Amino acid sequence: MANDSQASAAIGAGEIFNTTDLTTFTAVSVDAKLPGCMLFATGGSGTKPTPLYLGSALSAASLPIVIASDQVAVAVKQSGTWNITNVSGTISLPTGASTSAKQPALGTAGTASTDVITIQGIASMTKLLVTPDANSAINVAQMNGVATTMGNGVSGTGVQRVTIASDSTGQVALAAGSAVIGHVIVDSGTVTTVSTVAAVTAITNALPAGTNTLGGVTNVGTATGSGLTQKTFVSANSDNATCLKASAGQVYSIQAFNLNAAPRYLKFQNKATTPTIGTDTNTKVIMIPGNTAGAGVVINFHTPIPFSTGISYGLVTGIANNDDTSVGAGDCVVNIDYI
């Protein structure tokens, strides 16, 4: 079949459709049941027909077609450089493609993110203002280029100088009754140890008569002074249980001598009544050495021995606390100085 002017035609098996003007050609219907059909273009009678769509060709030698809306996707291949202009919308990268540089995904402020943009500063740039959080702690490693000094100690380059304001209400004086001053020289030249501010006041000001308690004061400097009370006794054939003083007192010295070959034991109790030797608790035990020619012991207590309830004693032959064995009459002579 040949036709140079028909715009559309139906082609059967084995037929040839020739046309010299592709611009007038609009459609060719090929029976899908006639395989092997092919379109040719000729220049006229007796000219060898040329296939219209064998391989790639210029648009002048190509057959115009319309792609149906339900056409399955067709792969497109292109070599060389593509120049794309005036593109709108979103273009997706092919599967497996990637960009040449990391594209940060900026997150919400204050939320941790692996995509972080940093700022590279230069020497002449305006400093960035960094405002710390309210009541936040700031560690200062240096002050004026020198490591800071913490805690108590002597002054130094790392210690900040401070000035106490003249109207400060802070404590700038020693607290009464708690500060130890050390040694204070009194007018008489005597070195006195002062332990409290109150003691300094007592030294500076005259003591009001009859209103201040100084503690125990013993007048031993004059012939008429009361001094210490003296007790002397010779042992009887008993445990010599005796209440020396029925109220609080202090023992200053003891002189005890023994004419028996065996030692004897002078035992004291903090009691205001006659003690039960061997039963009452002993607060101090003095051993008196024995010798038929005479032996003994002399003790002067630098600090008197206090008895808060009373001063009592007994004299026996055994060292055990529960011993109540009587000594012989005239075995011992004992002197006790007390107040």
Residue 142, pLDDT above cutoff 90: no
Is residue 317 a contact partner of residue 325, using CB atoms and an 8 Å limit? Answer: yes
Is residue 261 a contact partner of residue 304, using CB atoms and an 8 Å limit? Answer: no
In a domain, 331, yes or no: yes
In a domain, 19, yes or no: yes
Is residue 316 a contact partner of residue 326, using CB atoms and an 8 Å limit? Answer: yes
Question: What is the residue whose two structure tokens read 């109207």?
Answer: 167
The torsion defined by the Cα of 265, 266, 270 and 271, in degrees rounded to 10, comes to: 100
Cβ neighbours of 103 (radius 10 Å): 6
In a domain, 79, yes or no: no
Domain boundary among 66, 81, 115: 66
Domain boundary among 34, 66, 98: 66
117 pLDDT band (50/70/90 cuts)?
low
Is residue 290 a contact partner of residue 317, using CB atoms and an 8 Å limit? Answer: no
Residue with more model confidence, 136 or 290: 290
Q: Which pLDDT belongs to residue 261? A: 96
% of the chain at pLDDT higher than 90: 33
Q: Which pLDDT belongs to residue 30? A: 44
Global pTM exceeds 0.75: no
Residues 61-87, mean pLDDT to the nearest whole number = 73
In a domain, 29, yes or no: yes
Question: What is the residue whose two structure tokens read 């308690």?
Answer: 213
Look up residue 176 and give its two tokens: 């009464």
Is residue 18 a contact partner of residue 41, using CB atoms and an 8 Å limit? Answer: yes
Q: How far apart are CA 263 and CA 260, in angstroms?
A: 7
State the residue range of the domain holding 28: 1-66
The pLDDT tens digits of the residues spanning 148-195 come to: 887 777 777 778 777 777 777 765 666 666 556 555 555 545 555 555
The enclosing H or E element of 198 equals helix 197-204
In a domain, 41, yes or no: yes
Residue with more model confidence, 164 or 44: 164
In a domain, 16, yes or no: yes
Phi, psi of 297 (to 5 degrees): -145, 140
In a domain, 216, yes or no: no
Q: How far apart are CA 275 and CA 313, in angstroms?
A: 7
Domain boundary among 45, 66, 87: 66
Question: Residue 310 maps to which CATH number?
Answer: 2.60.120
Q: How far apart are CA 41 and CA 44, in angstroms?
A: 9
Count of domains for the chain: 2
Look up residue 93 and give its two tokens: 């990268």
In a domain, 54, yes or no: yes
* CB-based contacts of 277, cutoff 8 Å, min separation 6: 239, 241, 267, 314, 316, 323, 324
Among residues 41, 32, 34, 43, the alpha carbon closest in space to that of 14 is found at: 34
Q: How far apart are CA 261 and CA 331, in angstroms?
A: 9
Residue 95, pLDDT above cutoff 50: yes
